[in-house]
């Protein structure tokens, strides 16, 4: 009996598939995400639960879901001061589309802007797992954490480097950080990563009067929630996206197109070299 062409073709494809995924299985009239039918999830789980399910592969506990909700809400907006928002609005002013302005905004999260949370998560996760030479990890709550925090602050200060997650150019005390920590404590969501972040703040405040910012607080909390530091900027993008979209919409509907944001007399020309 002859084997049909389609059968051979499909057999060959399955032998060496180029595309593999464990996220969502697509079948005609059926979508199964991380083992759950999407029909069952819609109208039942919250958006933060879906985020957790997609990224971590399983549904979170009720408490973790509430904590993640607070984290996502905290990233919402910082007015027109962030360069990412200025970029998105400048682009909207030229008549670029929503998705273009949003992409421009997201691409503006450089190492000096919004990159701190991911670096802070990386630092906290490394320290929680490995400790420092004098206090080898995995860290346990309490005494170890404080000792490690001291070593870390010493090292950064001796190299005159900024610890990611502390200090803010507009706020001496970032109002979002304090509130997030308060929520985490109330929900009993403070694990070793957040403890470490808080210990670092304590020492840093004593020596330099620098406080934790939103990135530092969320770096601790997201690490305790089990998020890999590699998705740090990703989580920030989820939280900030509605803010950027609102600014683009405001620029498109309230302002005159193609605004002159620089007057020629504001430019200084110099010769090179």
Subset of 139-198 contacting a second copy (CB under 8 A):
169-176, 178-180, 182-183, 186
Q: Which residues of 90-102 are buried (b: 16+ CB within 10 A; e: fewer)?
A: bbbbeebeeeebb
Q: Segment 211-240, which members bind a second copy (CB under 8 A)?
A: 228, 230-231, 233-235, 237-239
Kindly tell me which residue out of 1, 4, 134, 269 binds a second copy, with binding defined by CB under 8 A. Answer: 269
Based on the shown chain and the rule CB under 8 A, indicate whether residue 129 belongs to the binding site for a second copy: no
Beta bridge partners of 80: 78
From the CB of 54, what's the least distance to a second copy, in Å? 4
From the CB of 32, what's the least distance to a second copy, in Å? 9
From the CB of 167, what's the least distance to a second copy, in Å? 12
> From CA 91, how far away is CA 261, in angstroms rounded?
12
Q: Segment 68-87, which members bind a second copy (CB under 8 A)?
A: 69-70, 72-74, 76-81, 83-84, 86-87
Closest CB to a second copy among residues 110, 142: 110
> From CA 245, how far away is CA 242, in angstroms rounded?
5
Whether 229 and 223 have beta carbons less than 8 Å apart is answered as yes
Closest CB to a second copy among residues 26, 133: 26
Closest CB to a second copy among residues 7, 143: 7
Whether 235 and 257 have beta carbons less than 8 Å apart is answered as no
Based on the shown chain and the rule CB under 8 A, indicate whether residue 209 belongs to the binding site for a second copy: no
Closest CB to a second copy among residues 106, 196: 106
Based on the shown chain and the rule CB under 8 A, indicate whether residue 116 belongs to the binding site for a second copy: no
Kindly tell me which residue out of 121, 145, 148, 248 binds a second copy, with binding defined by CB under 8 A. Answer: 248
Whether 165 and 215 have beta carbons less than 8 Å apart is answered as yes
From the CB of 171, what's the least distance to a second copy, in Å? 5
> From CA 61, how far away is CA 199, in angstroms rounded?
27
# residues near a second copy by CB under 8 A? 133
> From CA 105, how far away is CA 103, in angstroms rounded?
5
Whether 99 and 105 have beta carbons less than 8 Å apart is answered as no
| Number of other residues whose CB lies within 10 A of the CB of residue 59 | 17
Whether 204 and 165 have beta carbons less than 8 Å apart is answered as no
From the CB of 169, what's the least distance to a second copy, in Å? 7
Kindly tell me which residue out of 10, 141, 143, 207 binds a second copy, with binding defined by CB under 8 A. Answer: 10
């Amino acid at each position: 009996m002859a084997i049909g062409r389609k059968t051979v073709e499909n057999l060959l494809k399955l032998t060496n598939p180029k595309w593999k995924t464990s996220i969502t299985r697509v079948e005609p009239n059926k979508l199964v995400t991380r083992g759950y039918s999407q029909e069952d999830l819609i109208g039942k789980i919250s958006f933060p639960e879906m985020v957790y399910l997609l990224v971590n592969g399983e549904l979170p506990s009720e408490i973790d879901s509430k904590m993640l909700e607070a984290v996502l809400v905290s990233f919402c907006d910082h007015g027109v001061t962030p360069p990412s928002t200025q970029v998105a609005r400048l682009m909207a002013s030229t008549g670029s589309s929503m998705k273009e302005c949003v992409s421009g905004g997201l691409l503006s999260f450089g190492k000096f802007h919004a990159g701190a949370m991911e670096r802070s998560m990386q630092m906290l996760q490394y320290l929680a797992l490995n400790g420092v030479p004098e206090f080898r990890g995995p860290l346990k709550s309490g005494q170890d954490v404080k000792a490690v925090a001291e070593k870390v602050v010493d090292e950064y200060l001796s190299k005159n480097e900024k610890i990611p997650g502390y200090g803010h150019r507009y706020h001496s005390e970032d109002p979002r950080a304090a509130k997030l920590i308060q929520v985490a404590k109330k929900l009993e969501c403070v694990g070793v990563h957040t403890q470490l972040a808080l210990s670092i703040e304590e020492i840093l405040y004593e020596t330099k009067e620098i406080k934790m910012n939103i990135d530092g607080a969320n770096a601790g909390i997201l690490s305790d929630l089990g998020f890999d530091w590699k998705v740090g900027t990703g989580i920030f993008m989820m939280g900030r996206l509605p803010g950027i979209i609102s600014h683009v919409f405001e620029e498109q509907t309230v302002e005159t197109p193609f605004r002159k944001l620089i007057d020629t007399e504001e430019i200084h020309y110099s010769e090179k070299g």
